[in-house]
Amino acid sequence: MKKKRSKFYQRLLSKELYRHPYAVPVITIAVLAVVSLFAVVFFGGTTIGPGDSRVVQLSIEGEKQTVPTRADTVQEFLERADITLNEGDVVEPSKDELIAGDNFRINVYRARPVTIFDGNKRVQALSAAKAPRMVADQAGVKVYPEDTLKQEVSDDILRDQVIGEKITIDRATPVNLNLYGTPTTVRTQVDTVGQLLQEKGIVLTKGDKVVPSVSTSLRAGMTVAVARSGIVVKTVEESIEPPIEYVEDASLSFGATAVRQAGTPGKKSVTYEITMKNGKEVSRKKIQEATITQPVKQIVARGKAFDINTDKAAVMAAAGISESDYPYVDYIISRESGWRVNATNGSTWGLCQALPGSKMASAGADWQTNPVTQLKWCSGYAAGKGGWAAAYEFWVRNHWW
């Protein structure tokens, strides 16, 4: 049975309406407006199109789902998906990470109960952080670089009265160190004065005196003095950059990063012997360098999971790029141009943003439109940096290449 058409629809089809000189364009605009309104309402104001959308592989506490998105960053994705992070929750990679390609992995970890044992004190916390120092920081427990923290699951719930994980803090011993008249506080896990001097990098030379003796056992709050008579000294404090440790993680997309332990700089005390003449300094010689505070290394998880669609793989293969280099190529090209062959920014052009774009003519006359030609030129450019892997490392450090 035919459905009865609405009066509005009948009027749109009426011969009288079509006789009007502006009937067709007006009808077209009206229909498109209705369709557009429907699309906006249906998709909540967000249209999903192949040109600007990406696919995210979302995992929340191991529950996985595939989500199309037009978000540019992890932060924007969380907001669009209405995912709330509560106190102690963790998202990886970092919120400012760019969602540069399909099958981008975002992992949300919900806070879990953790008990921190700090001597006779016990602190309850909720945290999803993977490094114990990060858990302590979230719980407001101050720890020093020389303190050691052990994270584990309790093997005796009745004894420890702990549900979930526990962190035990072994506090370092605070010692007052006086180095050539400059006092400072250091912390250590060693037992004697001699071991302390060795740990801090203090080398005794002729004329140096140590009080108490190097065999003396350390105790909290004691003073250890290193002195040399008959000289004028000046001590300055300098920073020690924290080392960075990278951990490869298959749960993160290739090149994506997540800081699992924040690094903090250390401090060192540098003592100079000053030579004076007529009341003015004429020269100085370094006589001692001691580590006052150890730097805390930064631990960064770096993704290694890689998915490539067949179109990109075909272009890279046609350009003669080795499969082992595909992750590096995709990482750079996704960030330089979003794989748009006509991407431009001022005088730059193409997949790898050659500057000027006309440089790529050396790879072929069709350099403006052919992705294979462009990638061939890009490979030559990457070779100048030591290959695609080296070019990737350069891009990660500088955010350009």
Closest Cα partner for 56 from 66, 47, 64?
66
Helices (H), 161-295: 193-199
pLDDT in tens, 110-167: 999 999 999 999 999 999 999 999 999 999 999 999 999 999 987 777 777 887 899 9
Token digits of residue 157: 């719930």
Q: How many residues does the chain have?
A: 401
SS3 257: strand
Q: Which two structure tokens, joined as six digits, stand for 169? A: 């803090």
Residues of the chain with pLDDT under 50: 1-51
Q: Beginning with the edge strand found earlier in the chain, give each strand of the sheet holding 112-118 in spatial order.
A: 121-127, 112-118, 165-170, 148-153
User: Distance between terminal CA atoms of the chain?
Assistant: 66
| Identity of residue 24 | V
Using DSSP bridges, classify how beta strands 173-179 and 223-228 pair: parallel, antiparallel or unpaired: parallel
- Whether residue 306 contacts residue 253, with contact meaning beta carbons closer than 8 Å, is answered with yes
- The pLDDT of residue 52: 59
Encoded tokens for 108? 């949300």
Contact yes or no for 321/379 (Cβ under 8 A) = yes
Cα(399)–Cα(401) distance, rounded to whole angstroms?
7
Q: How far, in Å, CA of 90 to CA of 258, rounded? A: 10
* Residue 378 CB neighbour total at 10 angstroms: 27
- pLDDT of 278 reads 87
Give CA angle at 33 (46, 80), nearest 5°: 5
Residue that is written with structure tokens 């997949």 in the block: 351
Please give the pLDDT value at position 101. Answer: 80
Give the residue ranges of DSSP H helices in 236-325.
310-318
